[in-house]
Amino acid sequence: MFGKLFARVFVLAGCFCFFGCSEADISFSTPGALMLDDGKGSFRFGTATAAAQIEDGLLDSDWQHWSKPAADGGRGEGADYVGDAVLGFSRALDDVSLLTDLGLDAYRFSVDWSRIEPRRDDIDLEGIAHYRGFLERLVANDIIPMVTVHHFSSPLWAHDFLQGKCSDDDVPTDDNLCGWGHPQGGDELIAEIAEFAGRLAREYGDLVDEWCSLNEPINYIIASYAVGQFPPGEALIIENFDRLMSVYRNYVKAHVAIYDAIKANDLVDADGDGVAAQIGLSLNAIDWVPSSDNKPSTNIKDVRARDRVWYFYHHFFVDSLVQGTFDTDLDSLPDEEHPEWQGKIDWLGVQYYSRNGVTGAPALMPGVDATLCVGQIDLGSCLPPKDPTHWIDSMHYEYHEEGVYNVLTDIGARYPDLPLVMTESGIASNNGRRRAEHIVRTLEQTVRAMNQGVDVRGYYHWSLMDNFEWSEGYLPRFGLYEVDRATFERRPTEGALVYRDIIRARGLSAKVRDAYGGTGPMTPDNVK
């Protein structure tokens, strides 16, 4: 995996060197070309999406009911109703040409659980057949699939918030398992998601070797179970810390159950590298900084709070799997032994979007005791942008190029045995040039980390096309292709064209770096 030889021949501009580049040639600070790939497919260029953000007809997903207007029987949460998103289901086969036009090596997408199992144990065979056809089309076009099992969305029956809140005494039913935190429902959900993953592995294992179990566990649980911004809308952050930690514990168990189910059911080595299934998860990595960095003197409480948040976001979940332990109070010391979890992760996804501030003022949650700002979940004071040209208005955070290097080097040092893959990175912008700057700068910082010995195997840009940005709805535009909301026409942005050139060259040419790279001011968002 991630080392497959590509049959393609890549033509390079004169200044590139595939082989025999000296350290000085590829040093980050030297102007000139920077290679990411060794010419034999050591580095994967991809793009990523998630079903609930692009697909039409996901009628049984929690997001459908969460975002539907209350007048129509939904909860009316978030900025927009997801509806038919960007018709990514009915247009799936046609959209493969968007990938091939860019010359991408790989595509990460999710199979929505609610599509395959709209009601508990009721399997939708048409849904199964659809993804098989889609995967066959990808593979026929030399695009390596990576399948995400759980990317923020669930079938409504996993935690039916429309039925009201479950208490611990409520007995889960087939149409409401009461969510990941319920004493009995949590266990049933773990078994159910393992069954789902095992089914995917059986159905698609001959086409897929790379599996991403869970997308951004820390953010998902915060949004869904700590602050109630995502379905099922539980807000345990202050009221029930132990319950919140049991949601995390169950989600670690869910990863392990998915891992075991895929290993047991995907027995076919699809790409001929000798391994039938490689299973990882993706981590939302944030370049946390003490908020007082913007003040004359840095407050030590802020520094300590930053360290606690850094651990919680980047280490806590993965440590559980690497060490086979669980830290119940987030003090960074293991409290429970779980040898059955140990080593059940083959690679680690890193997803970087922003630099955010942390203050030492109480309280994120008892164990972390810090306030922070993640996107629009403002739990305290956000870091005022150090560089206003890097502010992403529709997401309320700051892109900071060097954060890519900071998170990759930290995570790479902590988990030296896990290959890293940038399973997402992107920018919400209406300006294609700004998107191109984001890609080039992120890749420059990736090379910088690789030059320090960090084992990064690929970059999957978020996202292939504009889509439904969860609570923020359709305003933020993350697409390499912009999508016309009236006609659903997909049009390449400047970001797509620059990314295509990078993929062709297997790296960053001096010209591309001169035009888009560095750390200076970014093109304003709304300038055409």
Contact residues for ligand BGC, defined by CB under 6 A? 50, 53, 215-216, 219, 284, 351, 424, 462, 469, 478
Chain position carrying tokens 């690929």:
458
Query: How far apart are CB 396 and ligand BGC at their closest, in Å?
Result: 11
Distance CA 175, CA 170 (A): 13
d(CA 346, CA 360): 35
Query: Nearer to ligand BGC by C-beta: 375 or 432?
Result: 375
CB of 474 to ligand BGC, least distance (A): 12
Looking at the Cβ atoms of 316 and 470, the one nearer to ligand BGC is: 470
Minimum distance, C-beta of residue 43 to ligand BGC, in the bound complex (Å):
21
Q: In angstroms, rounded to a whole number, what is the distance separating the alpha carbons of residues 328 and 524?
A: 44
| For ligand BGC, the closer CB: 215 or 430 | 215
- Tell me how far apart the alpha carbons of residues 487 and 480 are, in angstroms, rounded to a whole number: 17
| Residue 512 CA: distances (Å) to CA of 11, 479, 501, 507 | 16, 20, 9, 10
Structure tokens, 243: 């319950």
> Which CB atom, from 251 or from 341, has the smaller least distance to ligand BGC?
251
CA gap 80, 472 in Å, rounded: 7
Task: Answer whether 123's CB lies under 8 Å from 116's CB.
Answer: yes
Instruction: Please tell me the chain's helix, strand, coil percentages from 3-state DSSP, rounded to the nearest 5.
Output: 40, 20, 45
- Label the pairing between strands 44-48 and 106-110: parallel
The secondary structure of 451-472 as a DSSP string is: HTT--EEEEEEE-SB----GGG
Rounded distance between C-alpha atoms, residue 481 and residue 495, angstroms = 8
Shortest spacing between CB 163 and ligand BGC, in angstroms: 26
Q: Which is nearer to ligand BGC, 34 or 82 (CB)?
A: 82
CB of 125 to ligand BGC, least distance (A): 27
Nearer to ligand BGC, 215 or 356 (CB): 215
330, 261 Cβ separation under 8 angstroms = no
Tell me if 361 sits within 8 A of 371, measured CB to CB.
yes
Sign of the CA dihedral with 125 first, then 131, 137, and 141 last: negative
Backbone phi and psi for residue 316, each to the nearest 5 degrees, phi listed first: -50, -50
Phi, psi of 523 (to 5 degrees): -60, 135
Smallest gap from Cβ 107 to ligand BGC, in A, equals 15
Q: How far apart are alpha carbons 417 and 397 in whole angstroms?
A: 32
* 484 three-class SS: coil
Residue closer to ligand BGC by CB (options 351, 429) is: 351
Interatomic CA distance for residues 172 and 203, integer angstroms: 29
Nearer of residues 353 and 415 to ligand BGC, judged by Cβ: 353
CB of 81 to ligand BGC, least distance (A): 17
- Smallest separation (angstroms) from ligand BGC to the CB of 445: 18
Give the nearest distance from C-beta 152 to ligand BGC in angstroms. 6
Least distance in angstroms from the C-beta of 78 to ligand BGC: 13
| Residue 365 exposed, middle or buried by CB count within 10 Å (0-12, 13-18, 19+) | buried
| Nearest CB to ligand BGC, comparing residues 32 and 385 | 385
Cβ-based nearer residue to ligand BGC, 53 or 446? 53
Nearest to 239 by CA among 230, 228, 249, 231: 228
Least Å from the CB of residue 356 to ligand BGC: 13
By beta-carbon proximity to ligand BGC, the closer residue of 219 and 359 is: 219
Cα 279 to Cα 356: distance, rounded to the nearest angstrom: 29
